[in-house]
Amino acid sequence: MADAARWVGAFLQTADSFYPTGTYAHSFGLEGLLEAGTVTDLAALRTFLLDHALPPLADTDLPLARLAWEAADTPIDWPRLHHLSHLGAAMRGTAEVRRACLAIGSQRADLASRLHGGLAAEFNRRATAENWPRPSAIVAAIEGRTLGAPLEATLAGIVYAAAAAFASAAVKLLRLGQNAVHTLLADALACAPALIARAAQKRIEDLGTFNPWWDIASARHETANFRLFIS
């Protein structure tokens, strides 16, 4: 209990909607799918989130964060963290979503460095000096390690951040009530244990995903005449 009291508060702060990471400005392709006529109501949003958006986390961000978490154990494997940072960027299939991931990661890394120092500060110093990309999943792992949060909590936090980002963007794009969105968010969070378990089986060479329809919608969003969100 005493251990949890040391990290839970600061960990919740990183997931707060007014933690200034810029996430609120992104829909991560959802606005493009709305424009394509794919996600137009709550039922379609539910299918998109539970069947297409969250499952790939077990092939991308969750195993990536786990590997970064392990590399950040003492003695810290900086070359491995460097490689994972580039891999995390390369797994994003469109420029817009890649920029979103790296912008949010950079902002989180700067904040974690300023607020908590330690490992987060050293990671940020090296990444900035050597021009590493800072994907949000890698930064989440570094942040969790710095705060003393356990791996499972860090990974569950990644699931929460992804699901909440889609949910909050959906509220602005679709006619949805808050209760309906929070019911969907609760269902999404219930997937976290299975996603984390699946991610634990992944080797570094298996990491990655492929959804051409989502990529096409995101790519077309990059040059759309009207956009509410940056991505």
Partner 1 sequence: MIPGSEATACQRPAAPDPAPAPRLRGHLHLEARARPDGRTILARQSFRAPFHISKPHWNGHTLHVQVINPTAGILSGDSLEMRVHATDRAALSVTTPAVTRAFTMLDGTARSSQSLHVAAGAFLDFYPEPLCPHRDTSFLQKTTIHCARGAQLVFLDALAPGRAGRGELWAWRRLQLALDVHLDGRPVLVERLDAAGGKLAAAARFFQTPSAWLASLIAVSPRISSIDTLAAAITSLHGDGIRLGLTALDPDLLAIRLAARDGQTLRDTVAAIRQHLASAIPHLRADLRKL
Question: Does residue number 40 form part of the binding site for partner 1 (CB under 8 A)?
Answer: no
11 or 48: CB nearest partner 1: 48
Number of H helices, E strands in the chain: 12, 0
Q: Which stretch binds partner 1 (CB under 8 A): 32-40, 66-74, 111-119, 173-181?
A: 32-40
Q: How far is the CB of 7 from partner 1 (least distance, A)?
A: 32
Pick the binder of partner 1 from 90, 186, 190, 194 (CB under 8 A).
90
Give 33-41's long-range contacts (Cβ < 8 A, gap of 24+).
33/214, 33/217, 34/173, 34/174, 35/217, 35/220, 35/221, 35/224, 36/216, 36/217, 36/220, 38/213, 38/217, 39/170, 39/174, 40/174, 41/174
Using rule CB under 8 A, residue 36 touches partner 1: yes
Q: What is the distance of C-alpha 124 from the center of its chain?
A: 18
> Measured from the CB atom, is 87 or 192 closer to partner 1?
87
Number of chain positions touching partner 1 (CB under 8 A) = 35
Give the residue, chosen from 16, 206, 225, 226, that forms a contact with partner 1 under the rule CB under 8 A: 206
- Tell me if 80 contacts partner 1 by CB under 8 A: no
Q: Return the axis-axis angle of helices 178-190 and 192-199, rounded to nearest 10°.
A: 40
List the one residue from 96, 142, 161, 184 that touches partner 1 (CB under 8 A).
96
CA distance 122 to 220: 38
Residue type for position 132 = W
Q: Does 218 bind partner 1 (CB under 8 A)?
A: yes
Q: Check residue 136 for interaction with partner 1 (CB under 8 A).
A: no
Chain residues in the site for partner 1 (CB under 8 A): 36-38, 44, 47-48, 51-52, 59, 86-87, 90-91, 93-96, 98, 206-220, 222-223
